[in-house]
Structure 1
């Protein structure tokens, strides 16, 4: 599945939530979607969080 199809699916889901669930439901779904995206990128190895942890590459503190 390419990024265009995934983006289309996410857009459709968010549109349905906004239409039937209201603005608060839309915001909640968007936040959970963003969190899921970040977790997926991290698990795929495409997101480096080492700079946020304060631990250098050699394992010692900065």
Structure 2
């Protein structure tokens, strides 16, 4: 709900570009929060070790 309020204020007072900026920053913040909480394993996406072996 807080994200919706922030997007509403950004759209009303800052225009469309401010709306997009708030939307992108909220998405990035949500992604970073999910990684920190452990809901998303970043190694699956950035090419960490696969099954404990180095790939060459």
SS at match of 1:58: coil
Report the equivalent of 2:12. 19
Kept in 2: contact 1:50–1:57 (CA 8 A): no
Does 2:2 correspond to 1:9? yes
Report the equivalent of 1:42. 35
Segment drifting more, 46-55 vs 28-37: 46-55
Report the equivalent of 1:61. 55
Higher relative contact order (CA 8 A, sep 6+): 2
Q: CA RMSD in A?
A: 1.5
Whole-angstrom distance in 2 between the partners of 1:30 and 1:16: 12
Partner deviation per Cα, 1:30-58 (whole Å, 9 max, x = no partner) = 10110000000000000112122222141
Segment drifting more, 47-56 vs 11-20: 47-56
Whole-angstrom distance in 2 between the partners of 1:35 and 1:46: 15
